[in-house]
Amino acid sequence: MNSAIILLLSLAIDRVFGEPPDIFHPTVYIGKAIEKLKFLERYGGAGGIFIVVMAACLSISIFLLLIHLQGYAKLLLSIYILKSSFSWRGLRDYTLPVGDALKSGALERARKLLVYIVSRPTEKLDESEASSACVESIGENIHDSMLSPLFYFALFSCLSPEAGVAAAFFYRVMNTLDSMIGYRKYGSFGMSSAKLDDILNYIPARVSALLIILFSSEKIRTLKTVLKYGSATESPNAGIPMAAMAGATGVKLTKKGSYVLGEGRDAVPEDIDKAIAIADRVIFFFALVIFLLLLIICTPF
């Protein structure tokens, strides 16, 4: 049994069941651990580096544990950990209800649902701004919720399936660290995790944009939007797939006081459905390519 089977079963479980309950979700416990470690902020950059080292040690521990397990125990734990590192169905489960609420005129409900997927204040967003925030989130999450963990799983699976699973887990920890203590919020304390997250996302973010262009019905417009607006965000990575999504859907994505991506019309709730359809095609294609490559080149499990 090899890495391709682990990937296939993990994706199947995700599509059928979605996210596991919080009590069984490793990322939830990672978040709680990071909260407990925020006292290290008093040590500045050294405290941040210490947390990154702890994340690396935890990933190595998972690698060593998987090496020593055998049979179904190894397979089931590998699937569980890999599944916890990505969220495909979650893109639908968290964003489509926002669109449904907006279409039915329930703006206040849409604002409350948006709290779970964006970091900006949502209390005063109008319909267009709420739609824009949702489309932006879909664009960004194509790479940091899906392509990035699958990329590192595939890359390190060339060494061994255990290494691939541990690498995907390490990516998820670093991405969670960036979202919770990134240097934009915590200065030098979050610098090491934020910079490492930027490095880890560099290639997947650009691959995401290329695939969005590929599956866009307006490829030239989408490419031009990426080239013009991809660097408009503070993040060196997030703006690239978001700009691609703006071009692909033909809308202008706006975060007041921060950036404007694209030159199209204002976003409407139906654009959320369009963005999800594009995201599904991108993720399916990428996962299929990864699966086929793993079948061909990777070490047996």
Confidence of residue 182 (pLDDT cuts 50, 70, 90): confident
Rounded-to-integer distance, Cα 269 and Cα 266, Å = 10
Nearest residue to 143 (alpha-carbon basis) of 72, 205, 228: 205
Nearest residue to 225 (alpha-carbon basis) of 269, 280, 276, 264: 264
Q: What is the pLDDT of residue 260?
A: 93
Number of H helices, E strands in the chain: 14, 3
Structure confidence by residue, pLDDT tens digits, 31-77: 999 999 999 999 999 999 999 999 999 999 999 999 999 999 999 99
Structure confidence by residue, pLDDT tens digits, 76-92: 999 999 999 999 999 99
Q: What percentage of the chain reaches a pLDDT higher than 70?
A: 98
pLDDT at 299 over 60: no
What letters, b where the CB count within 10 A reaches 16 and e where it falls short, cover 196-223?
A: bbbebbebbbbbbbbbbbebbeeeebbb
Q: Where are the domains of the chain?
A: 3-297
Rounded-to-integer distance, Cα 136 and Cα 117, Å = 10
Structure confidence by residue, pLDDT tens digits, 230-266: 999 988 999 999 999 999 999 999 998 889 999 999 9
Instruction: Give the Cβ contact number of residue 255 at 10 Å.
Output: 17
Instruction: Tell me which residue has tokens 């009590």.
Output: 23
Is pTM beyond 0.75 here? yes
